[in-house]
Amino acid sequence: KLKEIVLSDFTDYSAIASSLRNIDVAYFCVGVYTGAVPDAEFKKITVDYTLKFADAVKENSPNATLCFLSGEGADRSEKSRLSFARYKGMAENYLISKSFRQLYIFRPGYIYPVEKRKEPNFGYKLYRALYPLIALFGSGFSIKSTELGEAMFKTGLHGTGKSTLENADILNLVHHNHPS
């Protein structure tokens, strides 16, 4: 059963708590591009939103599986000089501390948007243009948005052997038989 809920404040789930009861799988894919917002807002979106969502899911559906979209280079030591890596590491550490029945952390590399979009900055325009070359570097560097979505969806439903999945692991789930 899929039910879409529009939420205007990602730090307050009280108004929709009843909709979070008795769920089997939750997917958290909220994020923002590095440099798109000031650092304080970047941390709020990357860390605080994740924490509030995890708390709400755990409180209302303690046996739920959680699938979290992190990113390549996430640093669980929380000491990276790169804010993206440090903040994603903070979010991952918090999720691990919540002791979900199943927690799957996805760390893709460059996500190639299959559907055309307005790229957020020059770097992404360049990545998109160079994607055929980037893809030649192997499974550790990039993934299509459709492949990432398929892997996350199937993992939430069926599970997999690893709890933290790097780019190559994610692609392996899509291109080989997905373990039950």
* Residue 17 pLDDT grade (very low, low, confident, very high; cuts 50, 70, 90): very high
* Residue 36 pLDDT grade (very low, low, confident, very high; cuts 50, 70, 90): confident
What pLDDT, on a 0 to 100 scale, did the predictor assign at position 57?
98
Half-sphere exposure of 132 (CA within 13 A, CB side): 1
Q: Model confidence over 75-113: pLDDT tens digits? A: 999 999 999 999 999 999 999 999 999 999 999 988 877
Question: Is the per-residue pLDDT at 180 higher than 50?
Answer: no
SS3 of the chain: helix, strand, coil, percent, to 5: 45, 15, 40
Residue 102: strand pairing partners: 65
What's the CA gap between 151 and 132, in Å, rounded? 21
Q: Model confidence over 138-171: pLDDT tens digits? A: 556 788 899 999 999 999 999 999 999 999 999 9
Half-sphere exposure of 86 (CA within 13 A, CB side): 11
Considering the entire predicted model, what is its pTM? Answer: 0.87
What pLDDT, on a 0 to 100 scale, did the predictor assign at position 38?
95
Sequence-distant (6+) residues with CB within 8 A of 108 are 69, 71, 72, 143, 148, 167, 170
CA 25 to chain centre: 14
Q: Which residue has the tokens 């948005």?
A: 145
How far CA 59 is from CA of 17, 52, 99, 115, 165, in Å, comes to 9, 11, 12, 36, 25
